[in-house]
Structure 1
Amino acid sequence: MERQSVSSSNLASVGYDPNSETLEIEFKGGTIYRYFNVPSFVHEQLMSANSHGIYFNANIKDKYPFERA
């Protein structure tokens, strides 16, 4: 999955596969997590948020099943 760099103190890049509804997040430390069953509007809102980290913590973290890649 191709990820796009984001300007964030916490997140490094974000990728999304609309077919599988999988959101991939790379954190600044290099760790990558995949979140499953994430609707496309959540990805769109994350990418347009003023703070990617705040949006992630409020709307994605602990809200969707995930795995460490």
Structure 2
Amino acid sequence: MTNSPILDGNDRDAGVVEEICGYLTDIPPRNYFLFAGAGSGKTRTLVEVLRRLTGVTEHEKGGDWHGP
């Protein structure tokens, strides 16, 4: 039995972005499987991972961005 905390609602995916970033920055990078239902935020999560890894951030709501 593990001592993992029981998470409810939006806390269930807390830390997913950091976890995926960890998989991709390991040497060598590791594979991962992201499974979730429609409208759950998979694309948003992957976009946030890419932003953190590349340093690209949105400039304004209009979609302009500034790279590293």
- TM-score over 0.5 (shorter chain): no
| Superposition TM-score, scaled by structure 1 size | 0.23
Q: Which has the higher contact order (CA 8 A, sep 6+)?
A: 1
Query: Higher helix share goes to which structure?
Result: 2
Which has more strand, going by share of residues? 1
Task: Choose 1 or 2 for highest CA Rg.
Answer: 2
